[in-house]
Structure 1
Amino acid sequence: MQPQQRYIAHFDLDSFFVSVEVLNNPALKGLPVLVGGSRERGVVAACSYEARKFGVHSAMPMKKALQLCPQAVLVRGTRGEYSRYSRMVTEIIAAKAPLFEKASIDEFYLDLTGMDKFFNPYQWTIELRQSIIERTKLPISFALASNKMIAKIATDEAKPNGYIFVQPGMEKDFLGPLKVGKIPGVGKHTEETLKNAGIFYIRDIAQRTVEQMEAVLGNYGAELWHKAHGKHEGIVQPYHEAKSISTENTFHENTDDEAFLLSELVRMTEKVAYELRQDEKLAGCITVKLRYPNFETTSRQVSIDYTFRDDELIPVAKDLYHKLYRKGNKIRLMGVRLSDLTNHAMQGSLFDDAEKKNNLYKAIDAVKNKYGNYALNKARTIRGSDKEDKEEKEP
């Protein structure tokens, strides 16, 4: 019995941050637009295709980008809008796709395997793309292929605002004329090593033996050889797998000491944010829960810009607490939950002082990993607290 033919679609919102800014300000259309931080210390979060013609690309220091393209329009970024549009696209896909993975704020994989028994997967995917464009007005590209790797590479070839179907059995032919840097995971250093070995195109890898590739790159050479032949076994990870990360604290004694309660709130928010970073996720929603001595439980949540940072989550948690708490009443239990999780945490960090702040969090997390979660805490949380934490990761 032959294995079932796989159909994997990859959707990618084109220059997502810029596209949202243009929707909100049509005067930007057709201009070289840079979205990101300050001129001196910021990083390019996204750039329009007009700016790319000057050699500008995302993650480039803003200062360098403006040197390459002095006439560029710099937009600081309305990050809440990006979260809103991302959720809008997610809801459209979730309503139609049997199985999908939200790989990042603007990128999705859909597993359509088995759908060909009922209708044409390619036509279905074209219609889904059209639904997304009609409802959001955002440009989006997609590719349909037999595996995730081919679909992702092909989407890049379909941009801007296009689509492509790599027919089963045509994977090697499609990959052959593309440069080796098109393979996901092949960075500048690896690409340079391959060029020094006379390997410039993916077909150059496919034409060599596994042993020859291992001589150039060791075990990774064998992996690239398989990829050059269009082979990839990665599966689409269901989006609902990681819904939330939460922690709760039932106090030994009911308390109305607000200084203590706020201290606990900060500590708990730091804790779930740390777990979020360990899972390499971003959160798009935060919830604070309070329980009174009579077991009356109240909670409040709010959608937020996708983030993994304590300093962005804590102020929101405090605001929710102040809206929830009835002054003078004792509290029995407090909880903090992060939900609407998505991958690719670094996408939420391309604004001012991003590199410095991310390095700070990496250093803090490294200490916590080595010495325990309470090794470093904000000053407000140092005050003694009775802890009976119950940490949860909802399936």
Structure 2
Amino acid sequence: MASPAETYDAIVLGAGGAGLMCAAVAGQRGRRILVIDHADQAGKKILISGGGRCNFTNIHTAPDRYLSANPHFAKSALGRYTPQDFLGLVERHGIAWHEKTLGQLFCDQSARQIVAMLLAECEAGGVAIRLGHAIAAVTHADGRYCVTHGDRTATAPALVIATGGPSIPKIGATALAYDLARQFGLKVVEPRPALVPLTLGGEELLFRSLSGVSTEVIARHGKTAFREAALLTHRGLSGPAILQISSYWRHGDAIALDLLPDQPQGWLTEAKRGRPRATLTQCLRGHLPDRLADALAERLALPGDLGNIPDRKLQDAERRLSAWPFTPNGTEGFAKAEVTIGGISTAGLSSQTMEARHLPGLYAIGEAVDVTGWLGGYNFQWAWASGWVAAQYL
């Protein structure tokens, strides 16, 4: 005989960053909260983030560092729960941290400390957490949501979708959030991989022989540009600059890399005046990894001494090096994507509460929603902020 349904004030689907944050805050507000996740471990994405040290926020968080069909949607949540608020929580738990480049904050020791902190906060709020429970069915009737998981059933007047997106399926990521959204009448913006390596084919695979070479570049797509390292791989392009630009890239688009971002205009003709007997290869080797310098010089096809090369040809080479074009043929997909772009449409949600406009008690937070941050702790900050906001209204 089936056991009777357990009753709660809210059920949170997903024990990731957003779900745990939401549950902990609501629990400490006196609400009876149940968290359900099919994974056998809480916070799996947190554990593998930042090389195992969790890049848990970014001090430069601002709405313009997020992509969404509605660029204004994230403003309210990000303004009400800030990186300083989360940092305060981290410090109260005695977790040592450090700032890396570009405002990124990491744990000194381990990402496990962030998961342990969130679980401790949930415990302080009396939150019930069920791991390893596949969600079999979710229904809504008479103002209550009913969730069947394993051989148990739970009901509540509020349901929070915090199951993330499909990026990194090997840790259990699924598209459940989108199925639930559609079931309850919310639209979904087409999900695609973001913060993901780009793949190259055809002529551009000549760079495959340079797999493992990394150099600082400015990666550009339209008016968007990021200055960080790019890494050449056996499949194409990776590294922080490429992951960043991948969120803006669409199939068929070209991207351009400034391979010498520190060189002023006219530097090659200056080099010709100062070192007329140097070759282009020697000149490039002074600024780039040798293998990359050699490959680029070969492509530019300007043999001999600089002194014998016309200025206009050197200027043309400079232009090419400052905007070397690549047209990726794809990405490495959700398997390698750090996050998902797209997701539950913000058009159906309140930016003040994260609640569905047409269906009281239904909330969506974190990566499940069409809000995607830059690389470097921005997506965790959205998880904390959106989770905290929803918890105020459960």
TM over 0.5: no
Coarse TM-score class (shorter-chain normalised): under 0.3
User: So what's the TM-score if we normalise by structure 2?
Assistant: 0.23
Looking at both structures, which has the greater relative contact order when contacts are Cα pairs under 8 Å and sequence separation is at least 6? 2
Instruction: Compare the two structures and name the one with the higher helix fraction.
Output: 1
User: So what's the TM-score if we normalise by structure 1?
Assistant: 0.23
